[in-house]
Amino acid sequence: MQTAAAPLVAKTTTDIVFDRLYEEISSLVLLPGARISETEVADRLGVSRQPVRDAFNRLANLDLLLIRPQRATVVRGFSFERIETVRFVRLSVELEVITRACAKWSHENDKVLAANIARQGDAVAAGRIEDIHALDYDFHKHICDFSGYPLAFETIQHCKHSVDRLCVLSLKEKHEAKAIVEDHQAIADALAAGSVDQARAALTHHLSRLDRTIQELHEHHAHFFE
């Protein structure tokens, strides 16, 4: 007797609006400081204002929008304090995750990461930034799953959402995208070897790559920062 498959959860109108605006903000189509209104977005996407309002609130919770009563809503600029906080939280969580993952790593896990990294390499060669970004999410999610703490990825994902704009800027440089893949390979190799120290060091190095992007962005676009 076949087991019925779990039904797919349909996206709500709010989800669709959120995804669209999140993509526009994270890809820097909507730059820091840009004004955005519920009416304009509702008209542009052909929806009512309520789902737009709900999507705005979700984006505000990610520190991507600044909603100001009786004034225009704007795309939030970068904040050194917020960036450092979310990076601290993410590093703390992922270091614990990767430590737990080392203790129960298997050859089957190696195969999953190897396939993911191979797809990353193909995406870099083809210059498909969106695919690289998605595969990066999958890579870190796999490790959470294999660690036995899959829900930890929700915290990591929240942190990643807060700095995705910076990640997109970094990935636009092919050499940077290639370096990210190399970092992932180093993490995978350490996990395969069961070396907690190497895995933690490789992960720490990987997450520090945004430092130069942040510095260069501030030097050339200081007005993007609050």
Q: Tell whether 45 and 107 lie within a shared domain.
A: no
140: CATH: 1.20.120.530
Q: Tell whether 47 and 137 lie within a shared domain.
A: no
Q: Tell whether 39 and 89 lie within a shared domain.
A: no
User: Which residues span the domain enclosing 165?
Assistant: 80-224
Residues 118-157: pLDDT tens digits?
999 999 999 898 899 899 999 999 999 999 999 999 999 9
Average pLDDT over residues 26-53: 94
- Which of 75, 97, 122 delimits the end of a domain? 75
Record the pTM.
Answer: 0.85
Which residue would you say has higher pLDDT here, 43 or 209? 43
Residue 8 in domain: no
Domain count along the chain: 2
pLDDT on residue 9:
57
Of 188, 158, 222, 181, the C-alpha closest to 22 is 158
d(CA 171, CA 133): 8
Residue 97 in domain: yes
Which residue would you say has higher pLDDT here, 165 or 138? 138
Residue 67 in domain: yes
* Lookup: tokens for 66: 């600044």
Alpha carbons within 13 A on the beta-carbon side of 31:
6
- Count of other CB atoms within 10 angstroms of residue 46: 7
Least confident of 13-22, 192-201, 213-222: 213-222
Q: Tell whether 161 and 54 lie within a shared domain.
A: no
Residues in the chain: 226
Confidence of residue 172 (pLDDT cuts 50, 70, 90): low
Q: Tell whether 35 and 135 lie within a shared domain.
A: no
Alpha-helix residue ranges (DSSP H) falling in 32-173:
38-45, 49-61, 80-103, 107-126, 129-147, 152-171
